[in-house]
Structure 1
């Protein structure tokens, strides 16, 4: 089985020694996406803006790999404040409307670069 590394300039470059995503055997594994604005290299302002940007980054990577949000099977979300759970769900439901992948939301003590939210996923792709 061959492994393909996925990269797009429509999402920020990895902030460490890893790929934006890897693709193997019809499955896409997308690394955690912070709310970093592509081309600027800085986090969007506030939880809501970071959540939207993280989802836009995730979407750009999934689409670069030839897949779509409708083929996402699992999403893991890391937040620094579970008190923002309702805000998270409101934004998330704009991206995952009829299709509702399996999901986990986990509160963490901190995220890279001082991010407030990080989102990763597993999707089907051809």
Structure 2
């Protein structure tokens, strides 16, 4: 099956993984995005800031594949601090709506002991289905 690697323009190259893989059937698999920017630099050191950046990264990959936020069908969240996440639900909702609007795909939230990047507090992976994708 043919597929295309998706890398937003201007982003630092992914090393040992792909940020996105678009399959021939239009399914886009977005690798786990953390709270660093396209240059792989953390601008935020708190959960909310990193969450917003991770969601913006997902949107950038979906758009680079020719899709839109509404094409996202699944999000899987990995968080390192359950208490911080639960204590900041209002802010989580505000940021989520600012980035993804009122689009709510299937979601899973998993609490993990840690992430590969020591500074990362959240990692989010996504799946999208992009109609008319030309791979």
TM, length-normalised to structure 2: 0.83
Specify the alignment match of 1:105 in structure 2. 109
Specify the alignment match of 2:17 in structure 1. 18
Cα distance in 1 for residues equivalent to 2:106 and 2:26: 18
Specify the alignment match of 1:65 in structure 2. 65
Cα distance in 2 for residues equivalent to 1:10 and 1:56: 15
Cα distance in 2 for residues equivalent to 1:77 and 1:12: 23
Runs of 4+ in 1 over 4 A off after TM superposition: none
Q: Contact conserved, 1:11 with 1:58, CA < 8 A, in 2?
A: no
List per-residue Cα deviations over 1:57-93 (Å, max 9, x = no partner).
1110110000111110000010001121314344223
Q: Contact conserved, 1:73 with 1:122, CA < 8 A, in 2?
A: yes
Gap regions ≥5 residues in structure 1 = none
Cα distance in 1 for residues equivalent to 2:8 and 2:20: 10
Q: Contact conserved, 2:52 with 2:99, CA < 8 A, in 1?
A: no
RMSD between aligned residues:
1.7
Q: Contact conserved, 2:73 with 2:126, CA < 8 A, in 1?
A: yes
The alignment of Structure 1 onto Structure 2 pairs a total of residues equal to 124
Higher strand share: 1
Alpha-carbon distance change, 2 to 54 in structure 1, aligned in 2, over 3 angstroms = same
List per-residue Cα deviations over 1:89-108 (Å, max 9, x = no partner).
44223333332100001100
Which segment is superposed worse, 23-32 or 96-105?
A: 96-105
Gap regions ≥5 residues in structure 2 = none
